[in-house]
Each structure stands twice: as structure tokens, then as C-alpha cells.
A and B are shown apart, each in its own frame.
Chain A
Amino acid sequence: MILKPQSLDIRIILHFLGKIVLGFGVMMVLPVAISLVFGETAPVIDFAIGLVIAISVGIFFILMARLDEHVEMSWMHGMVVVSLGWLVCMVLGAVPFFLSGHWASFLDACFESMSGLATTGLTLAQDLDHLSHAANFWRHLLMFLGGQGIVVVALSFLVKGGPGAFRMYVGEGRDEKILPNVVETAKFIWLVSLVYFGLGTLLLALCGYFSVGLSLREAVFHGACIFMAAFDTGGFSPQSQGVIYYQSPLFELCTIVVMVWGAINFNLHYAIWNGKRKELWRDLETRTFLITLSCVTLLAAAALVKGRVYGDLIGLGRRGLYQIISAHTTTGFSTIYPQQFMLEWKSLALLGIILAMGMGASICSTTGGIKMMRIGLIGKAFREDIKRFLISDSSVVSTKFHHLKDLFLDDKMVRSAALMTIAYVLVYLFGTAMACFAGYPVLESLFESTSAAGNVGLSCGITQATMPAFLKVVYIVQMWAGRLEFISILVLGGFFVSCIRGK
């Protein structure tokens, strides 16, 4: 029997939803500050409206909840709060975009907002090169907030620790705590991110100023934006050409360093911060990443060399390998135009890049896709099964692997990894089917769907303001589901069903 949620359940959800929205809304102060720095007047109004609406919605939710005593959240509450929170933040984050006039409809603005929050990087912005610095900064800031997690923002400042906080943290697609207390974990994630933000912005700004030829002010602005997009494996860029705009191999190299750094598990960052550098090389995720990266690079390189797509090794590196690393870290920066994927890349190279996008990088990082830990576990399970056939029946086979500590492979781990892998593949195929239904060829559809659900952001040209509205909604759902890793969204679905059919 399905139980109908009680009024207390709804009040708990509204209360924490309100807090998340408040935390999110306050962040709109930053683009207002950017407007003032760059002397832009109209965006101040746009963001002031967005800020006031977001804070009003947050306070309204808290008022509606009338939850004065401290109540602990259940798993259901945590999951529903997170999945709804992301939707509400998507809508509120879209308000300044829509008001700027650079998005054709509010749906397009919502698409951009979700693409930013989910660190995807697909864009429907029009005339991006004339967009205000404030709105451009907001696009990138959304990636920074979404990458670390908007619940992590709320946990850091507005929510007390405890089991309820942990349930929201897990609901946001993170499997592992770094520190024993989840609020301390959230604060650590922010500390790491802000320190790296300072260093990364400095690196990219220096590169932008000396190597690219940007003016100092623009170099700092672009450095900050590109850092947020690269470290959070997002893929937005301040200019419509993306990374092509900079026309600099050194700048591209710097973005590769930041992308790969951002694709590493936060637990490994913690280990590195504590001087345990060897952890990086011993970890199953890092090793799996190196193996899969080598495989997809070989696939793509073989096809590109055979097809003589790029004349020399430098061209192959800057236009071929760059795309592969960008895809595998699920960043989505590109040094070629979207149409070139289908027109110039050969099928095998496309297969390589689609595989890279689908696999993603580390768990407990800002990347999307299936993730290396799951691929690594499934690989280990295959190896163990083969070993079983090769040795005598009486022998006991056990497989050890290293992820932060030495662990033994068990069936529960493999089952969980396999289920998530199947879920991702089904979502990739669902988006492919929807795009085929809209009339796009199957390979393009698979490419774009994998990019959306894997939170990558590379496009082969389907994602445009002119694409059908239903496909925009499909991609929004894919980005949302891919980022939150399905569970919280399925719980939200169950919650609505129980509201309607429960007794």
C-alpha cells in the first residue's frame, strides 16, 4: 500500500527547499557586482529582479512550511528536496537570462540555466558575443554552483549537519563523504574550489594576457569564467566560438590541465592536500581513466590519421586529442566547430568521442557520465569471473582494488555499478530516440543525447534555438537526471505518485 505524504512531509520539504532557494538567490549578488565593475546598467536591473524573486520564493516556502522546531529529514525528504530544488533553481536562474533578451524564449533560458547548473555546457544563447559581462558571468557561476552542488551551498551556510543533511548530499549525486561530518565536507569542497579558483584564474588570466593578447581586464574576466567552466567540467565559454576564440595552444594546454584537475574525485584532492600524492596513482578511478582515455584516444587518432583530417601531429593534438580529453572529462570545450564533427571526423573517431562522453570521469567530482569507478568495478568483476574459470573449483577468488583504501570487490558493489551503467545507457538511448523522432539522423542524435545526459556539452549542431521545443525539454530532463544520477528523480516521481494514489 502506498502511503499518502502527510502535511508534515510537505512542510519539511518546503522548509529545506526554501533554504536552498535562499542560498541560491543570494548568489545573484555576484553578477550585480560584476555589472557595477564593468559599468553595465541594464543587467543590474535584470539581476536585481532575479535576486528579489529568488529571495521572495525562498521566504515564501519557509513561511508556508511553518516549521519552527527542528525536524530530521528522511531519505524521501532529502531526495525530493534535492530534485525539486534543482528544478526551482533552474527556473529562478533563468529569469535574468530571459530578461537580458539574448534567449528566444523562457524555455531557452531554462535550458541554459539547467545546462549551467548541471555543468553540461550546451547553449541556446543568441548573439553571445554581445552579451553583458554580468550575464556571461552568471552562466559560468551557475556551473561553479552546480558543479560543487547547490545543496552543498545550502549545507555550507544554511543547514545544520546531521543525517538529514547527508541525505540531501547523497541526493545530489555524491556517493562519498570526505570528512565525517557532511557540513564539514561541504565546507571543504568550497575551500578547495575557492583556492583552486584563485590559482586557476591567475594562471588563465596570465596566459590570456601574455599569450592570447587579451587586455588585462578581459584576461581576468575570461580567466575566471574559463576556470569555472573547466574546473567544474562545464564547458560554457564567454565567446560564441568557445575555446577557438583564443587561438592559442598555451591557453588550450592550460584548459586541459584545469579540466583534468576538475575531473578528479574530491576525496583524492583531499588526499593530495594532506600530502598523500601517491593516492592519485594508486586509485582505481585514476587508473581506469588513464586506460579508457588511452583507448578512446587511440580509436579517434587512428580514424583521424587514416582519414588525413589534420595534417600533422600538432593539428591532431589540438583538434583531435583536445576534443577527446574534453569529452572524457565531460567538460565540452571544443577547438573545432560543431558541424566539423559530422562532416570531417570519421565514424570511428565519432565512436571514440561518444564512448568518452558516455563514460565520464570520477565519482564525487563535478563530472557527469557513467563514471570511472563504475567502469573500473565492472572491469574488475569481468576479470574475476574469467579467473574463476581458469583456476580450480576449490579455489576462492577474491579481487582487491584501491580506492582511498584497499577494498575487496563484492557483488553488491558490482550490482550497484552495473545498475547505474544500465540506467545511463538507457537515458542515452532515450534521448537518441527522441532526437530521431524529431527527424535528426541517428548518429547525430546519439552524439547529442550522450552529450546532454553525460553533462558534457559538446554539440554536433542539433542544439540550437530552432530545434523543437519538446527536444529542449528532453535535453533538460536528461541533463537534470544525469547530474543527479537518477535516484532522487525517481524518488520525486514516486512522491508525486503517492500524493495522487496514496491512502
Chain B
Amino acid sequence: MHPGEVMRYALLAFMAAVLLTTGRTACEASSSKELIEEAHLFDGAHVVYAGEVIGEVLRRGDHAWLNIHDGTNAIGVWVGQELLKDVTFTGGYKTQGDIVHVHGIFHRACPEHGGALDIHAQDLLVVEPGRLAEERLDNRKIFALLVSLGVLVCLLILRIFLMRRKRS
């Protein structure tokens, strides 16, 4: 079996175990909207949160902050260095970040991090590796640039013509 698949099954088993042992945790990943809007309900609970790693991995000693965007909001996830080894791509203009599933404890106002709304990760799985995003040039834009350049040149010629006529 591929190591990635082993990890995936392990995470599924883990999530099932979490579901059985805690009453407040959803098996499906919670959305950022739910976590923010129902923060009081989720406060201190084990949650599973999924999304794209965006920005950069912000390393702080033996931990790091990962900002994970689920399509609506990004939430900061406090991750131990040992969980970061599989994270290779973070989302930006030229990259699509890794899609990760995080299991951890959610805090509405984290006492360790100055009242931040965050998740302290206990497990992290890269479910879809990121990639370099291809930059495509739109031919219509190049055409629009050429047309507008043509207009600008015409206006400049007209300006020069009017200035010369005035002088003469």
C-alpha cells in the first residue's frame, strides 16, 4: 500500500475514534464559517478543518503557524514542526497550496496566543499536494494593449502637431 494511502486510512480511523470519544466533534470537516460564527459551541472541542495552506509557513521555534483557507476564510493553525514535513506548497499567485486536513483543538479566544481564534493541530494530513500554477497570457489583453498603445501614439502625434502649428 502507498504510504499516502496508509496515512489517509490512519486519519479516517483517527477521526472515527475522535467521533466516538467526544460528543461535540463532527466527522466531516467543520467550515471556517461554522467555526467563526459558532465559536462558543466549538470552543475547546476537537475539530477537523480542511483547506488550502496559504501565504507562508510562519515558523516559531519548534512550532509554526499555518494559515488554512477553506474557500471562505482562513484560520490560523498552530502546528508542531514534526507535522510540517509533508507540507511543500503554500498558496500564492504562482502556486496552489497543499490541501490539508487538520485535526486539533479549536479555541475561540486562545489563552496561549493572546485571544486568537485558532486551532492547535494534533494531526495534519496533506490530502492533495499543491502545485505550481501556470500563468497564461490572454491574447485579448495583448490586443487591447496594442489598440490602446495605438490610440496613445495618435494622441501624442496630434499633440505635437498642434504645438508645432501654434509655434508657426
Q: Give A residues with C-beta under 8 Å from B.
A: 38-42, 45-46, 48-49, 52-53, 55-56, 59-60, 62-63, 66, 68, 99, 129-133, 212-215, 218, 239-241, 244-247, 249, 309-312, 314-319, 335-337, 339-340, 343-344
Contacts and interface: CB of A to CB of B under 8 A. Distances in A.
A339 B151 CA distance: 47
Interface residues of B, number: 49
B141 interface: yes
A55 to B, nearest CB: 6
A247 B58 contact: yes
B129 interface: no
Given A45-B141, A245-B55, A245-B74, A53 B155 contact: no
Contacts of A130: 54, 91-93, 133
B64 interface: yes
B149 to A, nearest CB: 6
Interface in B102-129: 108-109, 111, 113-118
B30 to A, nearest CB: 15
B136 to A, nearest CB: 7
Contacts of A59: 152, 155-156, 159
A314 B36 contact: no
Given A239-B67, A311-B111, 5 more contacts: A41-B137, A49-B145, A55-B152, A310-B115, A340-B117
Given A40-B94, A45-B141, A213 B65 contact: yes
B142 interface: yes
A61 to B, nearest CB: 10
Contacts of B145: 45, 48-49, 52
A11 B167 CA distance: 21
B138 interface: yes
B92 A315 contact: no
**Best-buried of A55, A317, A337 by chain B (most CB within 10 Å):** A337
B166 interface: yes
B79 to A, nearest CB: 12
Contact of B69 (A53, A240, A319): A240
A53 B148 contact: yes
| Dominant SS among interface residues on chain A | helix
Interface string B49-82: 0000011111110001101010001101000000
Given A41-B135, A59-B159, A240-B69, A49 B109 contact: no
Interface of chain B: mostly helix, strand, loop or mixed: mixed
Contacts of B55: 129, 239, 245
B64 A344 contact: no
A244 B116 CA distance: 8
Nearest to A318: B114
Given A63-B155, A63-B158, A315 B56 contact: no
Given A45-B141, A309-B109, A319 B114 contact: yes
A60 B155 contact: yes
Nearest to B111: A311
A60 B154 CA distance: 10
Contacts of A212: 58
B155 A314 contact: no
A372 B67 CA distance: 38
B37 A339 contact: yes
A425 B73 CA distance: 33
B144 interface: yes
8 contacts: A38-B93, A49-B144, A52-B151, A56-B148, A59-B156, A318-B114, A339-B36, A343-B39
Contact of A239 (B74, B133, B138): B74
B12 interface: no
Nearest to A335: B116
B10 to A, nearest CB: 29
B13 interface: no
A315 B149 contact: no
B16 interface: no
A315 B115 contact: yes
Nearest to A249: B114
Contacts of B109: 309-311, 315, 319
B162 interface: yes
Given A218-B56, A247-B58, A337 B117 contact: yes
A336 B155 contact: no
A319 B108 CA distance: 12
B159 A63 contact: yes
Contacts of A339: 36-37
B46 to A, nearest CB: 20
Contacts of B149: 52
B41 to A, nearest CB: 11
B152 A99 contact: no
Given A59-B156, A215-B56, A40 B73 contact: no
Given A42-B136, A42-B137, A245-B67, A344 B114 contact: no
Contacts of B60: 213
Contact of B114 (A41, A315, A337): A315
Nearest to B72: A240
Nearest to A241: B74
Contacts of B67: 239, 241, 245
Contact of A336 (B57, B117, B133): B117
Contacts of B116: 244, 247, 318-319, 335
